[in-house]
Structure 1
Amino acid sequence: MSTRTNYKDLLDAGVHFGHLTRKWDPRMAPYIFMEKNDIHIIDLHKTVAKVEDASNALKQMAKSGKKIMFVATKKQAKDIVAERVNKTGMPYVTERWPGGMLTNFATIRKAIRKMQSIEKLLADDTAKHLQKKERLMLDRQRQKLETQLGSIRDLNRLPAALFIVDIKKEHIAVKEARKLNIPTFAMVDTNSDPNAVDFPIPANDDASSSIEKIIDLASTAIEEGLNERKLEKEKAQADKAKAKQKKAEKAKEKAESTETKEEK
């Protein structure tokens, strides 16, 4: 069976570069291949296997209609995540993680509704009667909320899982997910604890090429799941239409047969 990625692909993307040896977390030892120039080198064979595990799980989640939220607020990751994940239709957080995003989700939903009502108000004809100062104030408020919550505006319930780029930076998100038993997928560098997440992917979480590679693999797996879901739905609809047509044909045959008997 072919895997989604291979050693060379990951090597080319610089996924193998870890942190300085003095900054390491000993719990990452099983995923470290060697030390070179005081830098830990990640064992990419292990990464290939972990990418496969994570991708299969992500694909199944997407196939069953679940939402996976991506979290990446670090400078070199935010644009990559926003651009790639946006294509999958999954929610993502690339600005500051609002504390309580998961544990106090009702408040977040309230803020989203507030943003939507401001948008509605500004788009309405009545907004023309607002003073310039009021309008400006509302627009600033809307922009601020849009920046913070725009990518999760359609999230009506808690996500089924989190995909995190740097678990040290996003430790609050990891903590909230654990508290609520929400499964976590993450890129885990040599300075982090892989046991803090359910699906750790040993990888360089600082270089944009490495982030881009792993995010693309995760997004592709999600897209595969979404496509399979769509095909299954279409097949179910086609089967339903076929059965309906068969039923109608049978009823027609029955009616015609009755008519023939009556004529005789």
Structure 2
Amino acid sequence: MALRTLGKFCAQSMSHYLRTPWGAGITLSRLSTLVQPDIAQETLAESDTVHSGAVYQPRLLDPLKHPDYFRVHELFTIRDLFDARVHLGHKEGSLDNRMRPFIFGSRLGHLVFDLDITGYHLRQALNFIAHTAFNDGLVLFVVRTHEVLARRYLHEREQAVVGAQNAQLVQQTAKECGEFAHTRFWRGGIFTNANKQLGVSTRLPDLCIFLSTLNTILTQHVAVRDSAKMCIPTVGIVDSNCNPNLITYPVPGNDDTPCAVELYCRLFKAAILRGKEERKRVLEEQAKEQATVQ
């Protein structure tokens, strides 16, 4: 009798299971780590509720469960990248083979970046920057010193002037968003030997943003290598003559033109400010909830 009852129960359970659609209750968009701008915020917020009796109470959303929680896809368009000359690369002979997947083609002997690929990687980088700021991370802006380059190559004095302007722009950007910048000569061991050079209680940055990953025409910035050694995440603008392998979030694009650097700084600052504003809002809501409970 017991075996017959058990068999009937198993048959009913199996029939109910077969009638249930596969993956019921699972939203693929919430499991994806790719940027999906077409997902409505209201749809994502529907599942972020807590059922208490007969009343549904909203709870704080988890940014990591959303593909684009900070809406960074709204910060720029492909047209903005084109107007800022982000698509312009170096001459064909200076191409690094590791940058070949990001190249659309060449025109008049100069390489041209695929802006669709650049936009995808830039959105990924902005999303990570916003998450770092949201979690109270320390961000360090790093830009190469064109003065050193000009001393070695006298015909590039004009580029040294542009480099000085870029350094001032990066410093101003870091100041406006409450972060830090390093625009001078980089001493080796600042990260790897920080206890001896800077002191025992030295906090290393949680994220390094490189406006250029090369210190000279052929030499990679020492901070890129040191960041990789210390497992510090990096976001870097990689030109057609750069090596993107050591950069956590490489953004293929022009790193020389002032209007392109200005666009990068504006986008990075906007992502940081969005993360900080969201963190402030969440902390205020948590404080109100604690005050209500007490």
> What's 1:23 paired with?
94
Corresponding residue to 1:167 among 207, 213, 217? 213
Q: Which residue of 2 aligns with 1:65?
A: 136
Contact 1:68 1:163 in 2 (8 A): yes
Listed one character per residue, the Cα deviations across residues 174-228 of structure 1 (whole Å, up to 9, x for unaligned) are 0100111111110000001122211000110111110111121112111111111
2:286 counterpart (226, 230, 236): 236
Q: What do the CA deviations read for 1:130-153 (whole angstroms, capped 9, x no partner)?
A: xxxxxxxxxxxxxxxxxxxxxxxx
Contact 1:77–1:165 (Cα < 8 Å) also in 2: no
TM-score (norm 1): 0.72
Mapping for residues 124-203 of structure 1, pairs under 5 Å:
156-169=202-215, 171-203=221-253
1:93 and 2:182 correspond: yes
Percent identical across equivalent pairs? 30
Corresponding residue SS for 1:92: strand
Q: Which amino acid aligns with 1:201?
A: V
1:241 deviates by 1.7
For residues 182 and 197 of structure 2, what CA distance do their matches in structure 1 show?
Answer: 13
Q: TM-score, normalised by structure 2?
A: 0.65
Aligned to 1:8: 79
Output the CA distance in 1 between the equivalents of 2:241 and 2:224.
Answer: 16
Query: Which has the higher relative contact order, 1 or 2, with Cα contacts under 8 A spaced 6 or more apart?
Result: 1
Assess if the C-alpha contact under 8 Å between 2:144 and 2:221 holds in 1: no
1:214 aligned residue: 264
CA change 1:21–1:80 in 2 (3 A) is same
- What letter corresponds to residue 140 of structure 2 in structure 1? M
Number of equivalent positions: 201
Rounded to whole Å, the distance in 2 between the matches of 1:17 and 1:80 is 21
Output one character per residue of 1:35-92: Cα deviation in whole Å (capped at 9) or x when no partner. 0111001111111101110011111111011111110133242111111121111111
Q: Which amino acid aligns with 2:194?
A: F
Which secondary structure state, in structure 2, belongs to the residue aligned with residue 175 of structure 1? Answer: helix
Q: Aligned residue for 1:122?
A: none
- Secondary structure of the residue aligned to 2:250 is strand
How far residue 156 of structure 1 moved from its aligned partner, in angstroms, is 4.3
